[in-house]
A and B are shown apart, each in its own frame.
Chain A
Amino acid sequence: MTNENFKRELGSVFDEMAGSPSSALPDRVRSSLANVPEQRGPYWIAGVAATLIALVVIGVLFVGNPLNHQPNKIIPGAGSSPSPSAPASPNPSASATPGSGLPAFVCNSSTGLVTDTTTPPQPPVAFVDQVRTGANAGYDRLTIEFNNTQPSQVDVTPQSTAMFTKSPSGQSVTLAGNAGVLVTMKGADEHTAYSGSTDFKTGYAALVEAQQVQDYEGTVQWGLGLSASGCYRAFFLTSPYRLVIDIQSGS
Chain B
Amino acid sequence: MFAAVMEQRPQLMVSATAGDAESFAALIEPLLNPAYRLAAVMLADRSLAEDAVQEASVKAWRKLRQLRGDLKSLRPWFLSIVANECRMAKRQRWWSVLKLADMPTSSPGPDRAGSSDLHEALLRLMPDERLPLVLHFYLDLPIDEVALALHVSPSAAKSRIYRAAKRLRSDLTQEEVF
Question: Chain A: residues with CB nearer than 8 A to chain B?
Answer: 1-3, 6-7, 9-14, 16-22, 25-26, 28-30, 32-34, 36, 38-40, 97, 99-103, 118, 130, 132, 134, 136-137, 235, 237-239
Contact = CB atoms under 8 A, between A and B. Distances in A.
Which secondary structure characterizes the binding site on chain B?
helix
Interface of B: 19, 21-22, 24-25, 28-29, 32-33, 36-37, 40-41, 44-51, 53-54, 57-58, 61-62, 64-65, 88, 91-95, 97-98, 102-104, 106, 114-115, 118-119, 122, 133-134, 137-138, 165, 168-169, 171-172, 176-178
B115 A13 contact: yes
Contact of B92 (A1, A25, A32, A238): A238
Given A6-B169, A10-B138, A17-B103, 17 more contacts: A1-B171, A6-B172, A6-B176, A6-B177, A11-B137, A16-B104, A17-B122, A19-B46, A29-B53, A32-B54, A32-B58, A36-B61, A97-B47, A101-B98, A103-B94, A136-B50, A239-B88
A19 B5 CA distance: 24
B25 A29 contact: yes
B40 A134 contact: no
B33 A118 contact: no
A37 to B, nearest CB: 9
B25 A13 contact: no
Contacts of B88: 238-239
A18 B41 contact: yes
Contact of A19 (B40, B54, B64, B106): B40
Contacts of A1: 169, 171-172, 176
Contact of A101 (B37, B54, B97, B178): B97
A22 B172 CA distance: 36
A7 B137 contact: yes
Contact of A10 (B25, B40, B57, B133): B133
